[in-house]
Amino acid sequence: MAELLSGLSAVLHWSVLASVLAGALLGIFVGVLPGIGPIVAISICLPFTYGMPPLAGLSLLLGIYCGAFYAGAITSILIRTPGEASSIMTMFDGSPMARRGEAERALSLAFSSAFVGGIVSAAFLALAAPQLARFTAKFGAAEMTCAGLLAAICVCRAYNGRFIEATLMLALGLFIGTIGIDPTSGERRFTFDTTGLMSGLPLVSVSIGMFGMTQGFLMLGMRPRPVDANAIANAGVRWHSFLEPFRHPRTLSRSVLIGLLIGVLPAVGAALSTSLSYFAARRASRNPESFGRGNPEGIIAAEAANNSNSGGAMVTVLTLGIPGDAITAVMMGVFLVHGVFPGPNLFAEKPDLVNGVFIALILINVTILAVLVLLVRYIAMLVRVDPRILGTGILVLCFVGAYSVANSFTNVWIALGFGVFGWFSAQSGLPAVPLVLGMVIGDLFETSLRQALSVSDGSFAIFVTRPMSAVMVVAAALLVFWPLLRVAYQRARGNPAASAVPDPLKEHPDG
């Protein structure tokens, strides 16, 4: 309790409160606008957090992170266009409910389920992170190496059917992260004798390029989609529907739990947690055929899981210093620029910051809900913005964001280079997220690996003789070889055709 009170006093500062509000508003705007994800806004805003206190900077970025997930439901429900990929499942029941004249009920269900998920997620972070930090404080170099390797493999495996492409980009990110001065030996790596590359390629410029600029260029080439003005005019909330999720306690609690557990896993993300939660609710329902036709449990399952991801994702960042996804990878930049290193020591060295994050997350959820309740009718109108004008605005923001990293036009060119590369990569079927994750995980992985091998005089046995690292090595091997094992198992059962996974969405009735 004393720790939480210290966190509360850290949050009750005007810079943090202003950041919470600004982040919530930005996140909501980003979430409503189809085609822009929170990673774009977070990448662009990151350089501006460098002049802020660390807790204020983190609050701004967390506000964007959470706000985008809340607001993605608005367009899913009103105009059947998900604002975020994780809002697709909300659309399946939210849109039919809106079309039969219950848009306010659907929005209220979505917001209140999301609020429950967000608050429980923040509480989970506050309770679980200190315990996990005590456990990870015992990790040595071997365990940290295996944790980094396991995270990298989880990232690649998360791209179903794209393992090779994701591995390519992750390894490329790992290589890019080595450019500059080697922190262990002091040798210059791939600097081509230029002083600009001595400190390596800045993560912010790379993120702005790969996410912000790529998206901005794409939006220039889009045509505006026709929007039903009547659907937008139906935006609003219904007060008694805010309590409706509590009439489905099993669905609500199951969905929050799924979101929390998925959030802890690196790279798996909110889209998978909402799918799993939705289909679990449908399977458990006495009325499964009503899903897809405006069943409130469909909305509750999707939104509760969607918004309980954030706390789980922050657990691995705070306790291990390993980001769970590209968003948390970029957010780690706030820590690093202030000389704060996430990991088990963070809880001992900066307890006010850590506890402040817990309280800020709760405050962010309250702020987002309040803003949505008051302004949802006006926020919904943002969907009418022409994507081409929006794309131009994003590119201007990317310019100033990249420039402000070090008040240097060189970073603008780096961001442009990665923006062009990001677009060509997308055309080539190469995902962008693993590259950024590789840059962030790579530093930890390399340092720990070289330390561990120095201790063992070059013997890799150190990774299998220590219990925790052995467990992680086995888990990593299972993840890599899982498809082969599954096929072999099904053949052994005499069922080779069952290796094809049935597509549950094709069974879904079109509402």
15 part of the interface to other proteins, by CB under 8 A: no
Q: Which residues contact 143 (CB under 8 A, 6 or more apart)?
A: 136, 466, 468, 469, 472
509 part of the interface to other proteins, by CB under 8 A: no
Tell me whether residue 135 is exposed, middle or buried, using C-beta atoms within 10 angstroms of its C-beta: 0 to 12, 13 to 18, 19 or more: exposed
Q: How far is the CB of 272 from other proteins (least distance, A)?
A: 7
Token pair listed for 381: 């109108």
x/- binding map, residues 196-235, to other proteins, per CB under 8 A?
Answer: -----------------xxxxxx-xxxx-x----------
503 part of the interface to other proteins, by CB under 8 A: yes
Look up tokens 């800045």; give the residue: 202
Q: How far is the CB of 444 from other proteins (least distance, A)?
A: 12
Residues within window 120-159 making contact with other proteins, judged by CB under 8 A: 158-159
User: Pick from 38, 55, 97: which is nearest to 361 by CA?
Assistant: 55
Residue 414 to residue 403: CA distance in whole angstroms: 10
Q: How far is the CB of 164 from other proteins (least distance, A)?
A: 5
Q: Of residues 6, 15, 178, 290, which one binds other proteins by CB under 8 A?
A: 178
Q: Which residues contact 89 (CB under 8 A, 6 or more apart)?
A: 274, 275, 277, 278, 298, 301, 302
Piece of 6-14, 231-239, 309-317, 393-401 that binds other proteins (CB under 8 A): 393-401
Q: How far is the CB of 78 from other proteins (least distance, A)?
A: 11
Q: Of residues 25, 74, 144, 397, which one binds other proteins by CB under 8 A?
A: 397
- Is the Cβ of residue 408 or residue 490 nearer to other proteins in the bound state? 408
384 part of the interface to other proteins, by CB under 8 A: no
Q: Note every long-range contact of 94-101, with CB atoms under 8 Å and residues 24 or more positions apart, other chains counting.
A: 94/298, 94/299, 95/511, 96/292, 96/293, 96/294, 96/511, 97/294, 97/296, 97/299, 98/231, 98/234, 99/511, 100/294
- Is the Cβ of residue 354 or residue 452 nearer to other proteins in the bound state? 452
Residue 182 to residue 105: CA distance in whole angstroms: 57
Residues within window 302-361 making contact with other proteins, judged by CB under 8 A: none
- Cβ contact 310:361 at 8 Å: yes
Piece of 22-30, 76-84, 135-143, 233-241 that binds other proteins (CB under 8 A): 76-84
Q: Of residues 393, 481, 486, 495, which one binds other proteins by CB under 8 A?
A: 393
User: Pick from 245, 230, 225, 227: which is nearest to 110 by CA?
Assistant: 245
269 part of the interface to other proteins, by CB under 8 A: yes
Token pair listed for 480: 């890599």
Residues within window 428-447 making contact with other proteins, judged by CB under 8 A: 428-433, 442, 445-446
Residue 299 to residue 86: CA distance in whole angstroms: 12
Q: How far is the CB of 107 from other proteins (least distance, A)?
A: 16
x/- binding map, residues 97-116, to other proteins, per CB under 8 A?
Answer: --------------------
Q: How far is the CB of 332 from other proteins (least distance, A)?
A: 19
Residue 263 to residue 272: CA distance in whole angstroms: 10
Q: How far is the CB of 247 from other proteins (least distance, A)?
A: 27
